[in-house]
Homo-oligomer: A and B are copies of this chain.
Amino acid sequence: MLDYIIMGMVLEKELTGYDIKKKVENSVGTFYKANYGRLYPALNKLTEKGCLIMNEQMQGKRIKKYYKTTELGKEAFLEWLSAPVDMNMSGEAQLAQIFFFGELPKEVRDKRLQEYAFFIEQGLNPLQNIAKMLPNDNSDEKDYFGIAALYYGIQAMHNTLRWLNHIREQKPFSQFLRKHDE
């Protein structure tokens, strides 16, 4: 996963490992955390494999290593990107993939987004059935937070579906966020 995120970050502009980490933080950062402990080793491995090219530059007395994705890397990246979203991964990791969907041809992208919505609906149904069978009154105090977690999941899935509908049509986000009734 980190490999693909790195390659996605330096598709066009070359960056240092340090820059890449910063870029990850303030873009996909909400969904994916990188740290130097595996970032730098990953950069070396990807360079060895030929997925990145490294370009050393001197800045005063310091060597800076700039990385950029090669054609081979681009292929690997697009292969990963165009594969169906892996539902075994955490929701956050799934979002990290969709983050790059702008790099995908519209056809493939739409297919994947629809597919993804379908998977979420499939996960949503059993949860909704459980919710329906639950007693309406606050019967057992101790169970409340378990039920709350269930509803959290249902809500989150609903919201993801709404979001997917939105981005499938590439609507602007000016009116995406809703007012919240206190």
A-to-B contact residues, CB < 8 Å = 26-28, 30-31, 90-92, 95-96, 98-103, 123, 127, 130-131, 136-138, 141-156, 158-163, 165-167, 170, 172-174, 176-178, 180, 182
Contacts beyond the supplied A95-B152, A155-B176: 19 A-B pairs with Cβ under 8 Å? A27-B149, A28-B149, A30-B123, A31-B153, A90-B90, A91-B91, A91-B92, A99-B146, A100-B145, A101-B145, A102-B143, A102-B146, A138-B170, A148-B167, A152-B163, A155-B159, A158-B178, A158-B180, A165-B182
- Chain A interface mostly helix, strand, loop or mixed? helix
In the bound complex, how far is the Cα of B127 from the Cα of A26, in angstroms? 9
Q: In the complex this chain forms, how many copies of it are found?
A: 2
The answer to whether residues A162 and B142 also contact, given A31-B149, A149-B99 and a CB cut-off of 8 A, is: no
Contact B176 A151 (CB under 8 A): yes
Report the Cα distance A145→B171, complex, angstroms.
11
- Which single residue of chain B is at the shortest CB-CB distance from A123? B30
